[in-house]
């Protein structure tokens, strides 16, 4: 059945950009909680501090430098490869495929890409686990970004450069609101996925992101993708 004429219009979109964690799988899998706990552990060991202190620092870095890793690289000269290998060594068994999501992604015309502050290996493992392997033209990971993470504007300039796409003909899907602000500024069509996770709209210390940065706000990615006009 064709989408109704008043359905969201994505007919000009040629490049489809998806965040990975908590966007392509449900936040209630608590997978990211595992990663966060590995981050705390890594910081406590590496900096030889109490886990409570490590947790506070981790969240300070996330708020201040875009990602915990970026803060660790800038302030503590941590080797990013050590960090990525450690924090992504997690159990993926809580993740299950959403049977509606793969066909919803397959119907999108043009190029499908992943844009993540994590690493390519983690992305590959997760995508296989949730039944979304083999769908992607590119995976832009933190190495692609030269370790400058979302929401730094340089990260977006980098994907436009390596991807060679027109931002006005791109749509970006994200569960972390602040990561859509630079995408909106570049002219991308932004879709904010409410997933109920702690960092989704903003942390408690930071003002919420203004709604005008989102072209669409949704709570079910597969359902949304099945109903848009293409
Ligand atoms: Mg995310």
Q: What distance in angstroms lies between residue 1's CA and the mean position of ligand 1's atoms?
A: 31
The alpha carbon of residue 124 and the mean position of all alpha carbons in its chain are separated, in whole angstroms, by: 14
Q: Name the pTM for this structure.
A: 0.93
Whether residue 75 sits in one domain with residue 37: yes
Q: What distance in angstroms lies between residue 104's CA and the mean position of ligand 1's atoms?
A: 19
Whether residue 189 sits in one domain with residue 113: yes
| Domain membership of residue 72 as a residue range | 31-87
Q: Kindly state the average pLDDT of the residues 170-179.
A: 95
- Answer whether residue 82 is part of any domain: yes
Q: What distance in angstroms lies between residue 82's CA and the mean position of ligand 1's atoms?
A: 21
Total structural domains within the chain: 2
Whether residue 112 sits in one domain with residue 68: no
Whether residue 199 sits in one domain with residue 165: yes
Position 200 confidence tier, pLDDT thresholds 50, 70, 90:
low
CATH number for 70 = 1.10.150
Q: What is 99-154 written as a DSSP string?
A: TTHHHHHHT--SEEEEE-SS-HHHHHHHHHHTT-TT--SEEE-TTTTTT--TTSHH
Whether residue 106 sits in one domain with residue 48: no
Whether residue 126 sits in one domain with residue 19: yes
Q: What is 152-207 written as a DSSP string?
A: SHHHHHHHHHHHT--GGGEEEEESSGGGGHHHHHTTPEEEEE----TTSS--TTSP
Q: Kindly state the average pLDDT of the residues 187-212.
A: 79
Whether residue 144 sits in one domain with residue 63: no
pLDDT, tens digit, 9 for 90 and up, residues 101-129: 999 999 999 999 999 999 999 999 999 99
Whether residue 81 sits in one domain with residue 111: no
């Amino acid at each position: 059945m064709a989408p109704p004429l008043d359905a969201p219009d994505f007919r000009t979109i040629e490049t489809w950009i998806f965040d990975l964690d908590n966007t392509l799988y449900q936040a209630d899998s608590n997978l990211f909680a595992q990663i966060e706990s590995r981050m705390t552990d890594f910081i406590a060991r590496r900096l030889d501090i109490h886990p409570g202190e490590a947790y506070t620092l981790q969240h300070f870095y996330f708020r201040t430098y875009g990602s915990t890793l970026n803060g660790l690289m800038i302030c503590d000269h941590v080797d990013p490869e050590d960090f990525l290998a450690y924090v992504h060594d997690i159990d993926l068994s809580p993740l299950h495929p959403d049977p509606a999501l793969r066909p919803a992604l397959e119907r999108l015309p043009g190029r499908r890409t992943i844009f993540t502050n994590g690493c390519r290996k983690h992305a590959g493992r997760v995508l296989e686990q949730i039944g979304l392997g083999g769908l992607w033209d590119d995976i832009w990971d933190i190495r692609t970004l030269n370790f400058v993470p979302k929401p730094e504007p340089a990260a977006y300039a980098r994907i436009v450069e390596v991807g060679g796409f027109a931002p006005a003909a791109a749509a970006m899907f994200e569960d972390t609101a602040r990561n859509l602000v630079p995408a909106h500024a570049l002219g991308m069509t932004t879709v904010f996925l409410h997933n109920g996770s702690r960092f989704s709209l903003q942390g408690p210390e930071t003002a919420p992101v203004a709604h005008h940065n989102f072209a669409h706000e949704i709570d079910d990615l597969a359902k949304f993708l099945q109903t848009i006009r293409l």
